[in-house]
Amino acid sequence: MAFELAIVGIAAGIVLGLRYKVLVLVHAVMFAINLSIIIGIARGDSFWSIVLTTVAVVTAVQVGYLAGIGIRATIESTRRQQNGDGKPDSKIGPPWQHMWQSDSWAEWGSLVALHPLRPPQA
């Protein structure tokens, strides 16, 4: 049973490593410990069998998380290489830049003088 739980732990760790930061491991390890103990007690395993299974599952979750981080880093590196300029492939600019300022034909406040209810200001 320890082998099957370790396989599930590796798969869960990979999924967590692809998506979340390292603090999710605290919750994942606690869940794995509780799950291993509950399954061991339900099956009627001996104390040392439960301890060995718990250690194997916790280690598998952590190894899977490391593998997921490696996969995520490889994917991001490949995306940047395919883009060609080393920048992320997102086209979103800084949050303070207005879309009209991308080609520098408009400035902040240049439209104030064109407002229909205000006279042009010198």
Query: Maximum CA pair distance of the chain?
Result: 88
Check whether 77 has a pLDDT greater than 80: yes
Averaged pLDDT, 29-55? 95
Q: Residue 5 pLDDT more than 70? A: yes
Answer for the pair 100, 47: CB distance below 8 angstroms, yes or no. Answer: no
- Residue 5 CB: number of other CB atoms within 10 A? 20
Record the pTM: 0.65
